[in-house]
Amino acid sequence: MAVNSPEVNTTPQQQSESTNGNRIRNFLIALVAIALTFALSFGLRTETPSGALNAQAEASLPLEVALSNGKPTMMEFYADWCTSCQAMAEDLGELKQEYAEPLNFVMLNVDNNKWLPEITRYRVDGIPHFVFFNQQGEAIAQTIGEQPRPILEANLKALVASAPLPYTQAAGQVSQFESRMAPAKASPDDPRSHSSQVKQ
């Protein structure tokens, strides 16, 4: 009794075509597997900019330590969502490694309410915002916004050398100012004196 199996009669030419088709298919599968392996391997090695920011923040010194250890300090106000902060992350990471010995690096995330007193004190209204401190922990200069690597490096070199920072807005101690001049009397024609023209 015959089992339900169709008899397949193939010619040598059909077998050769089938073998070639299998070889091409296997070659394409191997090629795709190699490409996917490479893409996955490369993707895992590439660090996201926000990941680089987080890694740098974790490696930075606590603010209290940095301002009291006798070394100059660069403090950066940043946020994970800040595209300028992300764009600068690679250059800053390299500079932080290069200047790790003579300088302190501190990173404060503006999204953390813990840093609200510092955000207010240093008038942070845009990020990245950098504050530079001398060896005594006194703020001496600030810069705001994305900075090219050569400018950052020039400021860091000057900070290490206790020289004036070339690319910053200078800051320092100020004295209280009280004007000794008597206030000017309002003229009736002065638009700021409109309340004096109103009769009660």
Q: Please give the CATH superfamily to which domain 49-170 belongs.
A: Glutaredoxin (3.40.30.10)
Q: What angle do CA 67, 69, 73 make, to 5 degrees?
A: 45
DSSP 1: -
- The mean pLDDT values, 10 residues at a time, for the chain of 200 residues are 55 70 85 77 52 87 94 96 93 94 96 94 94 95 93 96 87 52 54 46
pTM for the whole structure: 0.62
pLDDT, residue 21, reads 78
Peptide bond into 128 cis (omega under 30): yes
* 85 tagged catalytic: yes
From 67, 74, 75, 82, the catalytic residue = 82
132, exposed or middle or buried, with CB in 10 Å at 0-12, 13-18, 19+? Answer: buried
pLDDT score, position 169: 73
Say what the pLDDT of residue 165 is.
Answer: 93
Q: Where are the domains of the chain?
A: 49-170
Neighbouring C-alpha atoms within 13 Å toward the C-beta of 2:
4
Angle at 78 between CA 74 and CA 79, to 5 degrees: 160
pLDDT at 99: 96
Q: Report the alpha-carbon distance of residue 3 to residue 56 in Å, rounded.
A: 72
Residue 126 annotated as catalytic: no
Residue 148 · residue 140 · CB < 8 Å: no
